[in-house]
A and B are shown apart, each in its own frame.
Chain A
């Protein structure tokens, strides 16, 4: 009995992290290769060993977030003058992928801080706002969040019912935001509220709200299927008063800010999905070499080989789409279609690969001794947040049809 337990533990501990994958790195510039290797080392040594515990106990990885902040990973695109790493979006994508491979929750915490919080402030903030709302959020000591969705509307972002009215030298916010990632651990939020309901989506504005703050309270933490080390809850605003200077961008610009932010954020989530898929593939391929059945390692069976091949192709194609989207954005070229394609492909790859990984592991895939079940649970959300797969398809179709405009 003890021997069986030991053997199972040994199998569980011995997941190989794909050490022959030199060719993946060959196409990237040296700087990006070094960054990728550094994040991979960090993920293997500091994230993967604790990811299971973090997930089980729903623990926010505060120590790891601070360490990543010190490495510059919490603010990859932010210029050095504001405390960031001053690197490009491709670097950011690689960092999120490698970190997510170790721990998907940590990946989304890094992604939300970079893309959904720092992103809009960098793009639309005044110099003063950047000083106040960016610099403290680059070190990992503080993280931000993004409050767009409401209980009544997720995909239907234009129908925001959170209200913002001007009263003297203050904005007063009222309403409820739902599904806000990081909110229990955040020190600031970008909140979208409507300043003029009659203008529909053109009446939405974006606001910077410090946390905690009078008039702002948090709902109970959602008990999620996956990414459990990151907190998700409602943000409740009841006569929440903020200075006029906390308006981000122009009045009525909120919808545009939201959509542009999500365009970029999509690349972050695609990268997270890639990391989850890679971790699942690592697990399955390693297991296939070690598990014997019918007198030989199951890696010899074509049924297993075909699965691994399909998994590898899904992952690699999604990865190239993601890199392309990041590189287009870095080149300041239009990237909406590419980003939507990347997010769609990567999230569907993550669910496919993690599903098949459990299948390859058989019974072992269903128990917590192996990380396969966690990858399966973590993968599922990537098809939903920051734009559901259905929304991505609409975005892509829209772009494709534009190209063939009659």
Chain B
């Protein structure tokens, strides 16, 4: 029985927003743009809260890394039913270069500090699509991992996880403590109720610095350039099969 669950929630640009690349091609425009909780993180929070409602875990702690604004994201998790939040303060250049490796180091350190026995994350974030944090966190902690989970069941001191893989569904059994990453079909996140939104205001969010956790934020990656996807080019119509083959040879495709 996992006593404490850590759930990572990431603040990302809202999925419905049209993304614009900054004129200097160093990144995308985030100023004044609507942000919300990563959809896979919502699913992770929902799963954790359900485990708590089934009395399989005692406490759900929501964690987010970033500047002041990520507190909104943590509050949303609290409104969905998380018990308390941890805001790991990262801002400025450090935040710009924050990636899965640093976040997993932070999560691993927090898991030890908070004596968590289960970490649930979204499978990936919709901004960078890395799909690495869960896996790296498990490796750093030397814990088993159940990624792309479409179903999670507690069986004694083990977890049965059904994973969505290319070939279909894979069922695995892993020991606790473990890391699980949520896929789309794991659950449908709830709407926060008004009373829970009010209660969220009173729940505690503690601030922590990465340095306090002994984590070095230096990135090993450097973003060289960000560009818009190429505009779709107009096609060419041909009359005969010979023309088609000719054109394909011309374009160097065959």
Which residue numbers of A lie inside 8 Å of B, CB to CB?
Answer: 16-17, 19-23, 30-31, 34-35, 37-38, 41-42, 67, 70-73, 76, 80, 85-87, 91, 95
Q: A20-B34, A30-B201, A34-B75 are in contact. Are A71 and B17 (CB under 8 A)?
A: no
Min distance, Cβ A13 to any Cβ of chain B, angstroms? 13
Q: Does the CB pair A87–B198 fall under 8 Å?
A: yes
When distances are taken between beta carbons in the complex, the residues of chain A under 8 Å from B14 are 19
Q: Is B214 an interface residue (CB 8 A)?
A: no
Q: Is B33 an interface residue (CB 8 A)?
A: yes
A-B contact pairs, 13 of them (CB 8 A): A19-B16, A19-B17, A30-B75, A31-B198, A34-B72, A38-B79, A38-B191, A38-B194, A67-B191, A71-B191, A71-B193, A73-B194, A85-B194
When distances are taken between beta carbons in the complex, the residues of chain B under 8 Å from A70 are 193
When distances are taken between beta carbons in the complex, the residues of chain B under 8 Å from A73 are 194
Interface of A is mostly: helix
Within 8 A of A (CB), among B29-50: 32-34, 36
For the complex, give the distance between the alpha carbons of A23 and B75 in Å.
20
Number of residue pairs spanning A and B whose beta carbons lie under 8 angstroms apart = 62
Most chain B CB neighbours (cut-off 10 Å) among A30, A38, A73, A76? A38
Q: A17-B16, A20-B33 are in contact. Are A38 and B195 (CB under 8 A)?
A: no
For the complex, give the distance between the alpha carbons of A41 and B192 in Å.
10
Min distance, Cβ A297 to any Cβ of chain B, angstroms? 14
Q: Does the CB pair A86–B195 fall under 8 Å?
A: yes
Q: Is B124 an interface residue (CB 8 A)?
A: no
Interface extent on B, as a size class? Answer: 20 to 34
* Minimal Cβ-Cβ distance residue in A for B79: A34
Q: Is B200 an interface residue (CB 8 A)?
A: yes
Min distance, Cβ A40 to any Cβ of chain B, angstroms? 11
When distances are taken between beta carbons in the complex, the residues of chain A under 8 Å from B18 are 19
For the complex, give the distance between the alpha carbons of A23 and B200 in Å.
23
Query: Apart from A31-B201, A85-B198, what 15 extra A-B contacts exist at CB < 8 Å?
Result: A19-B18, A19-B33, A19-B34, A20-B17, A22-B32, A30-B72, A34-B79, A35-B197, A41-B191, A72-B194, A76-B194, A86-B198, A87-B194, A87-B198, A95-B194
* Minimal Cβ-Cβ distance residue in A for B75: A34
Q: Is B137 an interface residue (CB 8 A)?
A: no
* 9 pairs of A and B residues whose beta carbons are closest in the complex: A72-B194, A85-B194, A71-B193, A19-B17, A19-B34, A38-B192, A72-B193, A34-B197, A19-B16
Q: Is B104 an interface residue (CB 8 A)?
A: no
Q: What 1/0 mask marks residues of chain B from 52 to 70 whose CB sits below 8 Å from any chain A CB?
A: 0000000000000000000
When distances are taken between beta carbons in the complex, the residues of chain A under 8 Å from B34 are 19-22
Within 8 A of A (CB), among B175-214: 191-195, 197-198, 200-201
Q: Is B135 an interface residue (CB 8 A)?
A: no
Q: Does the CB pair B75–A35 fall under 8 Å?
A: no
When distances are taken between beta carbons in the complex, the residues of chain B under 8 Å from A80 are 195
Q: Does the CB pair B75–A91 fall under 8 Å?
A: no
For the complex, give the distance between the alpha carbons of A20 and B32 in Å.
7
For the complex, give the distance between the alpha carbons of A38 and B42 in Å.
13
* Minimal Cβ-Cβ distance residue in A for B35: A22
For the complex, give the distance between the alpha carbons of A95 and B194 in Å.
10
Q: Is B133 an interface residue (CB 8 A)?
A: no
Q: Is B150 an interface residue (CB 8 A)?
A: no
Min distance, Cβ A186 to any Cβ of chain B, angstroms? 22
Q: Does the CB pair B32–A71 fall under 8 Å?
A: no
For the complex, give the distance between the alpha carbons of A48 and B194 in Å.
21
For the complex, give the distance between the alpha carbons of A76 and B18 in Å.
34
Q: Is B147 an interface residue (CB 8 A)?
A: no
When distances are taken between beta carbons in the complex, the residues of chain B under 8 Å from A86 are 195, 198
Most chain A CB neighbours (cut-off 10 Å) among B18, B36, B198? B198
When distances are taken between beta carbons in the complex, the residues of chain A under 8 Å from B72 are 30, 34
Q: Is B76 an interface residue (CB 8 A)?
A: yes
Most chain A CB neighbours (cut-off 10 Å) among B16, B18, B75, B195? B195
For the complex, give the distance between the alpha carbons of A85 and B200 in Å.
13
Min distance, Cβ B66 to any Cβ of chain A, angstroms? 17
Min distance, Cβ A140 to any Cβ of chain B, angstroms? 12
Within 8 A of A (CB), among B111-148: none
For the complex, give the distance between the alpha carbons of A38 and B14 in Å.
14
When distances are taken between beta carbons in the complex, the residues of chain B under 8 Å from A20 are 17, 32-34
When distances are taken between beta carbons in the complex, the residues of chain A under 8 Å from B192 are 34, 38, 71
For the complex, give the distance between the alpha carbons of A41 and B80 in Å.
14
When distances are taken between beta carbons in the complex, the residues of chain A under 8 Å from B32 are 20, 22-23
